[in-house]
Amino acid sequence: MNDKHSNFTSSHDDLEPQLESAVWAVLSEPLPADAIARVKAQALTLENEARRSVRTSNPLTFWNRPWIKLATLAACIFLVLGATMMFPSSSNAFAQAIERLKNAGAFRYKELLYVTTQEKPIEIEVLVADDGRERKTMLGRVSIHDSSGQLRLAFDEANKSATVHEPMFSLLDESDRQIKWLERLKSYGKKPDKELGTMKIEGRDCLGFEVKITPSAVFAVWVDEKTNDLVQVEFMGMPKGSTVTKSVMKDFEFNVSLDPTLFSFDAPMGFESTIAAKLPELLPFEESLIEALKGYTDLSGGKFPKSISDWGEWVVLMAESDIAKEKMTTISGRLGTLLPYLTFMPKDDYDYTGAGKAVSGKRAIVFWYRNPEKQLRAVFSDFTISSISETELVEVK
């Protein structure tokens, strides 16, 4: 709620609950174009009744009559409406956009992934069912995800091949969940963390708002200044070292009719289908990191990867290695588990330092981070883990 609205109620603490509730109801809803005119007319009617009553009533009982409270309410609402129209609240635009998002039903949008390896973004067409299932199409490949964000089906239109994924492990906590921007914004509330001003997006004048899920997971939400329609959502919380610099969601179409079969977890008719190897049980962050690094160094002759967030090197190494499918699945699963953790860590609170190091070399820190209790923890090149001091961290940097 806008500060001037808060100031209004704080200076009118003597309002009876019904009057205060009515004022807040007015403030929380979009204002019809004729609202002020109608309130003016009602206020004038009440004023005329009041004048007639004064001539025939005992002045001592005049202010205790129920209808005079209605006049007070009309005056209050009129003042609030006038202030709102003269000083429109951009935060209210954000609240209305989020409310529409909550009631979006089935919808579609376009996602653009901006990467450092090419000039044009990678384009993904996304369909979202009423129950939260998602269908994503990118470069001829289709993936179907359940409402928790877990991949359940992937298929290639050109090759007519499909891979069915069984439900994975139960997710331990919120940091393990896929980063579903829709659910994050729906549950955020009506007030953004920061207003970003205005920007023209494809010919539309838009108001910008910043939403911080965590200090590192930041969304920029752009809303049409005239209609309060959601125009664009940007996610700028990619982990350090990722080739993806940002993700942009746009071209929203809400409350559309989508065929339920588009979200089936079964392979399409005529496709050659295989069952994906079952992923290993979820481990805590440190143990997942250790297993992923062990898997990589086993295949690389003891050398650590350049990055744990840019997976191109990992994919090439595993493709060129004579490795069992189960082991490849385990390494990939452990690596994939790291992404949600890294996304929600403040970028100043962790770093991978294993590039150029080897298991056979001098014992050295290959990764450090601050845990939720702000304790410094480190993974070493011999795959041991321990707490470290600020002095030891300075030496690493």
Instruction: Give residue-wise pLDDT tens across range 220-250.
Output: 999 999 998 999 999 877 888 888 888 999 9
List of residues 6+ apart from 180 with CB closer than 8 A? 149
Token pair listed for 310: 């840019």
Percentage of residues in the chain with pLDDT exceeding 90?
37
**Residue 354: what pLDDT?**
94
Total Cβ atoms within 10 A of residue 71: 17
Region 99-113: mean pLDDT is: 88
| pTM score of the predicted model | 0.66
More confident residue, 53 or 291: 291
More confident residue, 388 or 328: 388
Please state, rounded to an integer, the average pLDDT across all residues of the chain.
76
Query: 183-208 pLDDT, tens per residue?
Result: 777 776 668 888 999 999 999 999 99
Cα–Cα separations (whole angstroms), residue 308 to 69, 128, 246, 282, 321: 66, 30, 18, 18, 19
Query: 250-307 pLDDT, tens per residue?
Result: 999 999 999 999 999 999 999 998 888 777 777 889 999 999 999 999 999 999 999 9
Query: Is the confidence at residue 371, as pLDDT, over 70?
Result: yes
CB 110 within 8 A of CB 232: no
Q: List the beta bridge partners of residue 107.
A: 128, 254
pLDDT band at 173 (very low <50, low <70, confident <90, very high): very low
Query: Is the confidence at residue 162, as pLDDT, over 70?
Result: yes
Q: Which residues of 163-193 are buried (b: 16+ CB within 10 A; e: fewer)?
A: bbbeebeeeeeebeebbbbbebbeebeeebe
> In whole angstroms, what is the distance from residue 343 CA to residue 277 CA?
26
Total Cβ atoms within 10 A of residue 207: 22
> In whole angstroms, what is the distance from residue 289 CA to residue 295 CA?
10
Q: What are phi and psi of 228, to 5 degrees?
A: 65, 20
**Residue 292: what pLDDT?**
94
Total Cβ atoms within 10 A of residue 284: 11
pLDDT band at 150 (very low <50, low <70, confident <90, very high): confident
**Residue 107: what pLDDT?**
93
Token pair listed for 319: 């493709």
Query: Is the confidence at residue 122, as pLDDT, over 80?
Result: yes
